[in-house]
Structure 1
Amino acid sequence: MTRDELRRKLQQARAALSETSRRQAADAVAQRVAQRVTGQQGVAAIFLSFANELDTTPSIDALWQQGIRTVLPVLHPFAKGHLLFLNYQPDTPLLNNRYGIREPRLDCRQVVPLAAINWLFMPLVGFDQQGNRLGMGGGYYDRTLAQWRRGALPRLQPIGLAYDQQRVEAIPTAAWDVPINEVITPSRHWQFT
């Protein structure tokens, strides 16, 4: 199965989940996210859900309750295919980017460097037991993780957030793919070495 075929299959499985299942999954993941950061301080980058992704609203609330500063990804206005991360609070004004994903209005004073981020909670379409992840195909997170892969961001801890149904036996990989060490699903906190 090609990456595109697998992506379509997993997106269809995600879209088929009932509203009740989605809510329960989002709440269960939020509890695991809270456990992951309990007793720690730092900055968490997290995404706002889009197109049947796991709802991150409960996880964002859990981070705020833990006193964790949160930032959201924003499409970089000058470096195509790259992300910036901006501070996010309950009253932060949001806009739809060119993909229809909500993000903070670009304000250079609110940019947080990747080196200052402790946890990078990422969306994914699929993942496997080796920590390989399948995203939407734009490569934004692979580019973001390139420095981490080289060891240049020692404090950064990339963590995927997904439904249990998004785990597969094996993800076909490409040279630019960056595997991650952790994925949180409703039923489990997966850790890969």
Structure 2
Amino acid sequence: MAALRAAKQALRREIKRRVAALSDEEKQRQSLIVSQQLFRHPKYASCKRIAVFLSMDDEVRTVEIIKDVFKSGKSCFIPRYESRSSSHMDMLKLNSLQDMETLPLTSWNIRQPAEDDDSREEALAAGGLDLILMPGLGFDRLGNRLGRGKGFYDTYLERCTRHAKGKPYTIALAFKEQLCQEIPVDENDVLIDEILYEGHE
């Protein structure tokens, strides 16, 4: 296990270095290409309830996707990471683009519903999710994902499997610089169904 942890840490550093070298314009350019791939995807077209991450600086920008989700009349859910617990995350309903702009900022500089905001529907408390867009630091072409080491998404997907609807389809959004030959994984790491990146067909 120690060897696996060390391998993951080394890979995280390497990928962060590669992504940090990208200009904002390049991140934006790749993000739009990946967004267009998603909009053409049959799973996106058919989904009614979708979870979307609010992107950090080293992640594919998701604001155009969130705009399209509302334009298409789908229900949009966003993560609320609990800072106190090790890996608990909920997916809470976002009501509009304006709603997103008024959410408080976390210490990671991303917006999320306040921890005492109980007015929002949690996806699994109602109709579940059809599709989850997954962030991550690194991916390989087999669908292995390298997260930030907190296990938020792995734990949440485990909860999804217990919902009547079952596990949603998962699509990761990646800069091509986040692709790796091979991601070191253990049995707790959940495989992604598909990864979208520039050049992916």
TM exceeding 0.5: yes
- 1:128 maps to what in 2? 140
- Asked if 1:40 is matched to 2:61, the reply is no
Tell me the amino acid that sits aligned with residue 180 of structure 2: V
TM-score, structure 2 as length reference: 0.83
Q: Please give the alpha-carbon distance, in whole angstroms, between the structure 2 residues aligned to 1:113 and 1:38.
A: 17
Match of 1:188, SS state, is coil
TM-score, structure 1 as length reference: 0.86
Tell me the amino acid that sits aligned with residue 98 of structure 2: D
Give the root-mean-square deviation of aligned CA atoms: 2.3
Cα distance, 1:178–1:169 mapped onto 2, change above 3 Å = same
Whether the aligned pair in 2 keeps the contact of 1:149 and 1:178 (CA below 8 Å) is no
- 1:94 maps to what in 2? 103
- 2:56 maps to what in 1? 50
Cα distance, 1:155–1:143 mapped onto 2, change above 3 Å = closer
Which moves more between the two structures, 179-188 or 33-42?
33-42
| Matching of residues 1-193 of structure 1 within 5 Å | 2-36=7-41, 37=43, 39-76=45-82, 80-88=86-94, 89-92=96-99, 93-106=102-115, 107-114=117-124, 116-148=128-160, 153-154=165-166, 156-188=168-200
Which moves more between the two structures, 37-46 or 2-11?
37-46
Deviations, residues 127-169 of structure 1 (Å, cap 9, x unaligned): 1122110011111011111245679653511111111111111
Deviations, residues 24-53 of structure 1 (Å, cap 9, x unaligned): 111111111211255424111011111321
Match of 2:53, SS state, is coil
Q: Please give the alpha-carbon distance, in whole angstroms, between the structure 1 residues aligned to 2:47 and 2:150.
A: 31
Gaps of 5+ in 1: none
Q: Please give the alpha-carbon distance, in whole angstroms, between the structure 1 residues aligned to 2:64 and 2:199.
A: 16
Q: Please give the alpha-carbon distance, in whole angstroms, between the structure 1 residues aligned to 2:169 and 2:161.
A: 11
Cα distance, 1:110–1:167 mapped onto 2, change above 3 Å = same
Gaps of 5+ in 2: 1-5
Q: Greater share of strand residues, 1 or 2?
A: 1
Q: Percent identity?
A: 28
Cα distance, 1:118–1:104 mapped onto 2, change above 3 Å = same
